Structures are given as C-alpha cells and as structure tokens.
Amino acid sequence: MAAKSLREIRRAAAAGIGSRRCFSGDAAAAAAAAAGVAEGKVGGGAGKEVNLFTAINQALHIALDTDPRSYVFGEDVGFGGVFRCTTGLADRFGRNRVFNTPLCEQGIAGFAVGLAAMGNRAIAEIQFADYIFPAFDQIVNEAAKFRYRSGNEFNCGGLTIRSPYGAVGHGGHYHSQSPEAFFCHVPGLKHLRTLIPWDKETVEASVSKTGKLLVSHEAPITGGFGAEIAASITERCFQRLEAPVARVCGLDTPFPLVYETFYMPTKNKVLDAIKATVNY
C-alpha cells in the first residue's frame, strides 16, 4: 500500500513546480531501487513499501532499462516532470529517449500513436488529465481503433498514456477533473487503473459476503464509472443485496476552487452513506 496518498504527493509537487529540489531524496531512492530491480538485486517476492511517486519512477526506470525501444516524453518530462515522476530518467537513459514535447496534447498523442505503430514502446505523459481533451481524437479515433480498422495488420499496442487526475488541493476546474469515464466507454482502450477491465469477481465476492456495496469516486455522479459498477453488481448479485448500491461521488457541476471540500466525496459523506446502507 502506498505510504503517502496521491493527493499528498500532488500537493507537495504543486508547491514545488519547477524546483529540482522537490522530491530529490525520493527520486534518488527510486532510481536506486529501480536499478536494483533491473539488476536482480531486489524482488523474489519481498515487497517494500513505497509511495506512489516512487513506484511510478521505478516502473519507468525498469521499462527503459529492459526495453531499448522504450521512450518517455511529455511536457517538462525531460527535467523530471512537474510531479517529479520522471526525475533521473534523462540523466540515466539520455535525452534521445526521455525528452520534452511542445505544449500540444494532440501532438503528444499523435506522435505516440505513430511511434508505437512502428513497434516502439511509447510512454506519453499528459501533465494533467484536464489537458487530455485536445488529444481525444487521437486517443479515441486513432489509437483505440487502429488494429480494428486495419484488419489486424497494424497496431499501437506498445502505447501507454499516463496522466494524473483528481483533486490536487485547490487546483480549480482545470487541474482537478477526473475524466476516466470518457475513456472507459471506448472499445480498444485499457484503463490500467483497474477500471477496464475491472475486477467484477472480487467485488461480487465481497457483496455476496456483506450484502452491501458503496462506490465512491471524485468524478461527477451522473455517468460516472460508479454507475457501471452499481449496474453490474445489481445484475449479478440482485438476490444477495440487502440494501441499494450506494454512490458517494462528485457533484454534477464544474470542479470548484473555493468549494472543493463541498464538492468532494469526503470521509464524512462516505461515513453517512455507510450508516445509511448498514441501517437500511
């Protein structure tokens, strides 16, 4: 389990955007750990608790170390990224494999699709998920459909697009959105945050034991992925449910700056929903 929450990492990063000192200790540890994994010095089933930032940094080190056709790119990626997740990569693997791009999300995604179609491992970063919408056509109509429309002659299966989403702590409506539901609706894309495919069997086993389910996410409640989970579990576990599936989600409004706490599915809202479900 992550030692620090993603929100804690984001808040610290937002306070130090542009600073090379931000997370310098964690970055050094991540690079050392990644090198150890690549050399076979770490592993064997022995887990080590790390925060999410360190885990991402390690994974990128391993990807670049084990596959010479892997490339990492995006806005500010070359100097370590605004969240410092790519710290140390350019120094170790060179700026031909870890590099900055122009501030053009459709260009980042389009380049990534082409790079992957040529047999490379393209790891593209969209700095904030809020910025991903200009690249929607490249992701939804190009990347997701490339194999299908070419009759399996071409594919861009080596493409990974990574982007942080959710509240950063007073980021306003252009740095706080959770657009995952848009992409979960697209055949051909895999949402690696366990959403597409999502683990129905584990949730079903839990509901079979408790007879209850509460789903929570920061995205607006209407059309959110929580509705898909609720519908699927209702279909599969209807006779085992002892209460309606509850949802605690964001509001159907733009993400507010001043009223972020009012908008968010806070622990008090979750607790109230748990009590209502248990006492149904």
**Any residues with CB less than 8 A from the CB of 268 and at least 6 apart, and which?**
none
Q: Is 39 a catalytic residue?
A: no
Catalytic option among 75, 125, 142, 175? 175
127 burial type by CB count under 10 A (0-12 exposed, 13-18 middle, 19+ buried):
buried
Distance in angstroms (rounded) separating the CA atoms of residues 208 and 5: 29
Residues 6+ apart with CB under 8 A from 73: 98, 99, 100, 101, 108, 111, 112, 122, 123, 124, 125
Q: Give the largest Cα separation in the chain, rounded.
A: 59
| 142 is known as an active-site residue | no
| Bond into 220 cis (ω within 30) | no
Rounded distance between C-alpha atoms, residue 41 and residue 34, angstroms: 10
Among 75, 105, 125, 142, the one annotated catalytic = 105
Residues annotated as catalytic are 105, 175
